[in-house]
Amino acid sequence: MIPALKALGHERVVAYGLPLKTNAVALTAHGPEGAGDPRSEGVAVKE
């Protein structure tokens, strides 16, 4: 996926494991926002 993102013009692409169960993370002007699978155990917490 990294080569495909770079081909689209994304200059800085970093892949690493996250210590959480999210299905998507978007970096916004207000900071990272994520969405999780509602079938997963646990609760959502917003700071």
17-30 residue pLDDT tens: 766 666 778 889 99
Classify residue 42: in a domain, yes or no: no
Classify residue 19: in a domain, yes or no: yes
Classify residue 27: in a domain, yes or no: yes
Classify residue 25: in a domain, yes or no: yes
Q: Can you list the positions of beta strands (E) in the chain?
A: 24-28, 31-35
Q: Do 47 and 32 contact (CB within 8 A), yes or no?
A: no
Per-residue pLDDT of 1-47, as tens digits, reads 889 999 999 998 888 876 666 677 888 999 988 877 777 776 666 66
